[in-house]
Homo-oligomer: A and B are copies of this chain.
Amino acid sequence: RVGVVMGSRSDFETMGGALDVLRDLGVAYEVRVLSAHRTPALLPTYGARAERLGLACIIAGAGGAAHLPGMLAAFTRVPVLGVPVQSRALSGQDSLLSIVQMPAGVPVATFAIGAAGAKNAALFAAAMLATTDGAVRARLDAFRAAQTQGVLNDPFFDGHPQAGEA
């Protein structure tokens, strides 16, 4: 249902979190390494595949001069979710700008730099599906409720806030 691609195997450390979230929310996915710069000929192929398979969206992670999300968005109408991988020298500022600053006409939905962005892209994919798929919606609602409860259960938050000694 959802395609997950990344520019290099080393991006898996970041993108693995997206797969975990999709699995937890019961969203089917396929995953592959796909490099805008090293395998450019696969871009139109994968774009066509995404349309043929009726993928709900493509989650694409890349770092540095990160062209993968934007080029997939150029080759297919399937919604593309971009994850800026944290780069070595510039901490993902280059990745972020290379993904988010797309010109008018070809959008990429961009998420936070690094692991938080990968997880959130997966959550967003689930939220997209949840608008028409009741089962995903129920699992997403449960995830969000549990997340809220996790904060409420924090010993720091118990209706009796910890008082200073003063």
Which residues of A are in contact with B by a Cβ distance under 8 Å?
A: 1-3, 7-9, 17, 19, 22-23, 25-41, 43-44, 54, 56-57, 63-65, 67, 70-71, 73-75, 77-79, 81, 86-94, 96-116, 119-121, 123-124, 127-128, 130-132, 137, 140-141, 144, 147-148, 150-152, 154, 156-157, 161-166
Contact = CB atoms under 8 A, between A and B. Distances in A.
Given A41-B75, A77-B130, A89-B114, 11 more contacts: A29-B166, A32-B157, A36-B74, A37-B70, A37-B73, A63-B103, A64-B101, A65-B98, A79-B128, A90-B92, A107-B124
A43 B148 CA distance: 13
A39 B78 CA distance: 17
B19 A164 contact: yes
Contacts of A38: 74, 105-106, 147-148, 150-151
A43 B41 CA distance: 10
A34 B162 CA distance: 13
Given A33-B156, A161-B31, A65 B120 contact: no
Contacts of A119: 104-105
A100 B90 contact: no
Contacts of A109: 81, 109-111, 124
Contacts of A106: 37-38, 120, 123
A52 to B, nearest CB: 13
A164 B22 contact: yes
A147 to B, nearest CB: 5
